[in-house]
């Protein structure tokens, strides 16, 4: 006759069936009101309901750690869940941040042509406030002197030319005088400017052309100027803009460098740069734009180490960071009046805030 199992209400113990020795999972059921005290099974594991599983794994149930947070037998990390997963969770915010940054980078649009034009014109306006005294940095008293000085300025500084031309013009004040000069004497006078033999040939040749073809006067047209020996578009625009008031863009080494840094052009051809920049600005701005850009390139935005930390237009410059960004260190890189040293002209304009350059051989 089959015995009936005692009722749970009686409070009697319920004896579970014996388990196989190969899978010891049993522990007595707690009495009513008694706190369960899980028995340790083989391998130190708890059974379901809060006990340790074999190898130290906590199984599901009763507040135990489920897969995805458990440790595998022998202290190894469990598949799909373990410290590696924990680290993955810890790295999740960084991954999200990286994703956000990536999304932001994707969202950034390249500058439109119209945006570049607006930024370029703003740079010109702000440079006008920084350099209200911008001017050609060659000393001259007439178109002839400016023409000769500009030819001599190739491959040297305006300072060196300004220190050399006083003696040259004192001896040869007119095209006729220079055209009739002894070449060796001219070479000796202009030796400090470098390449003095080639330069002597150029300035004596242009003096001869002015005497013979233009009545001893410097022509005021681009097409005439570029026919003279040693005179290219850059030299011609310097003369036209500063001696005749004809607008022109002077694409020298400083202008080329800054136009590329500011993304006004991607070309390295002076003629193409001139055309592309001319399309950005009104013609009336061309001459003074040239002076401002060249001033900035000589004083702050240097070729090898721009003084980015002391630049007043960093908010408009896509190349910010190419040079020194520390303000204190950047200030030490400033030149001429911005750095407290003499300028390049021996006879600068009255509104120039810096000191005049010293004569050749004199101490600064």
Torsion of CA 209, 213, 218, 222, to 10 degrees: -90
Active site residue 139: no
pLDDT at 106: 52
**Cα 251 to the chain's mean position, in Å?**
21
* Residue bearing tokens 């407290």: 340
Query: Could you list the pLDDT tens digit for every one of the 364 residues in the chain?
Result: 444 444 444 444 444 444 444 444 444 444 444 444 443 433 344 434 443 433 443 333 344 343 344 443 344 443 444 443 344 444 444 444 444 444 444 557 899 999 999 999 999 999 999 999 999 999 999 999 999 999 999 999 999 999 999 999 999 999 999 999 999 999 999 999 999 999 999 999 999 999 999 999 999 999 999 999 999 999 999 999 999 999 999 999 999 999 999 999 999 999 999 999 999 999 999 999 999 999 999 999 999 999 999 999 999 999 999 999 999 999 999 999 999 999 999 999 999 999 999 999 885 4
Q: What is the pLDDT of residue 188?
A: 98
Active site residue 285: no
254: Cα separation from own chain's centroid:
16
Q: How far apart are CA 213 and CA 223, in angstroms?
A: 14
pLDDT digits (tens, 9 = 90+) for 227-261: 999 999 999 999 999 999 999 999 999 999 999 99
What's the confidence (pLDDT) of residue 361? 85
> Is residue 9 packed enough to be buried (19+ CB in 10 Å), middle (13-18) or exposed (0-12)?
exposed
Q: Which of 222, 320, 224 is nearest to 278 (CA)?
A: 222
From the candidates 52, 234, 285, 338, which is the catalytic residue?
234
User: What does the pLDDT read at residue 150?
Assistant: 98
Q: How far apart are CA 144 and CA 164, in angstroms?
A: 15
Q: CA–CA separation, 255 vs 267, rounded Å?
A: 12
User: Reduced to 3 states, what is the DSSP secondary structure of residue 259?
Assistant: helix
pLDDT by residue (tens digit) across 21-32?
444 444 444 444
The answer to whether residues 83 and 90 touch, using CB atoms and an 8 Å cutoff, is no
How many other C-beta atoms lie within 10 A of the C-beta of residue 58? 21
Check 46, 52, 139, 252 and give the catalytic one.
252
User: What is the rounded CA–CA span in Å between residue 81 and residue 89?
Assistant: 11
CA distance 254 to 127: 15
Task: Please report, for residues 138, 258, 326, the alpha-carbon distance to residue 309 in angstroms, rounded to integers and kept in the order given.
Answer: 29, 16, 5
The predicted model scores a pTM of 0.71
For residue 66, the surrounding DSSP H or E stretch is: none
Q: How far apart are CA 98 and CA 331, in angstroms?
A: 36
């Amino acid at each position: 006759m089959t015995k009936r199992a005692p009722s749970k209400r009686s409070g009697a113990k319920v004896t579970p069936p014996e388990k196989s020795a190969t899978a010891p999972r049993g522990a007595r059921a707690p009495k009513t009101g008694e706190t369960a005290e899980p028995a340790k099974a083989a391998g130190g594991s708890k059974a379901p309901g809060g006990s340790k599983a074999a190898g130290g794994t906590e199984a599901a149930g009763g507040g135990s750690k489920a897969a995805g947070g458990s440790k595998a037998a022998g202290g190894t990390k469990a598949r799909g869940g373990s410290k590696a997963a924990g680290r993955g969770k810890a790295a999740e915010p960084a991954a999200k941040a990286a994703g956000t940054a990536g999304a932001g980078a994707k969202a950034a649009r390249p500058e439109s042509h119209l945006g570049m034009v607006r930024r370029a014109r703003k740079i010109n306006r702000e440079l006008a406030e920084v350099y209200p005294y911008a001017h050609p940095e060659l000393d001259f008293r007439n178109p002839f002197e400016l023409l000769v000085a500009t030819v001599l300025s190739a491959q040297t500084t305006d300072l060196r030319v300004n220190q050399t031309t006083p003696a040259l013009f004192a001896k040869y004040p007119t095209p006729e005088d220079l055209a009739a000069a002894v070449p060796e004497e001219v070479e000796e006078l202009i030796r400090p400017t470098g390449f003095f033999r080639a330069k002597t040939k150029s300035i004596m040749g242009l003096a001869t052309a002015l005497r013979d073809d233009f009545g001893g006067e410097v022509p005021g047209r681009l097409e005439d100027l570029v026919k003279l020996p040693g005179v290219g578009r850059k030299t011609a625009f310097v003369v036209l803009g500063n001696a005749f008031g004809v607008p022109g863009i002077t694409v020298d080494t400083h202008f080329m460098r800054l136009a590329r840094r500011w993304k006004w052009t991607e070309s390295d051809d002076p003629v193409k740069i001139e055309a592309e920049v001319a399309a950005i600005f009104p013609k009336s701005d061309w001459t003074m734009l040239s002076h401002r850009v060249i001033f900035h390139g000589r004083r702050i935005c240097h070729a090898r180490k721009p003084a980015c930390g002391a630049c007043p237009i960093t908010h408009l410059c896509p190349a910010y960071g190419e040079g020194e960004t520390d303000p204190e260190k950047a200030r030490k890189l400033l030149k001429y009046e911005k750095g407290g040293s003499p300028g390049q002209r021996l006879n600068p304009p009255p509104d120039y805030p810096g000191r005049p350059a010293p004569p050749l051989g004199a101490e600064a």
